[in-house]
Amino acid sequence: MHDLRHTFSVHALEQMVSQGKDPYCALPILSTYLGHKGIESTEKYLRLTKQYFKDILQYSAEDAENIFPEV
């Protein structure tokens, strides 16, 4: 049963993002739909999919420096 919730969660978030919603705004919507009290519970259902993993691998070291600056 939990496999179905995982699959639904990933696909629902993916669909909202493909419709132009910001993932950080879409996550609380998905969390509410799943009946969770907070997004922490919803995050457990989300996994990095093969499609997005390929996109992440294309980041260069320079991109990483911009995303995670030295503090």
Higher pLDDT, 65 or 35: 35
In which band, very low, low, confident or very high, does the pLDDT at 11 lie, cut at 50, 70 and 90? confident
pLDDT tens column, 16-56:
888 988 877 888 899 999 898 888 888 877 766 666 655 55
Residue 32, pLDDT score = 92
What does the DSSP assignment read for 2-69? HHHHHHHHHHHHHHHHHTT--HHHHHHHHHHHHT-SSHHHHHTT----HHHHHHHHT--HHHHHHHS-
Higher pLDDT, 29 or 66: 29
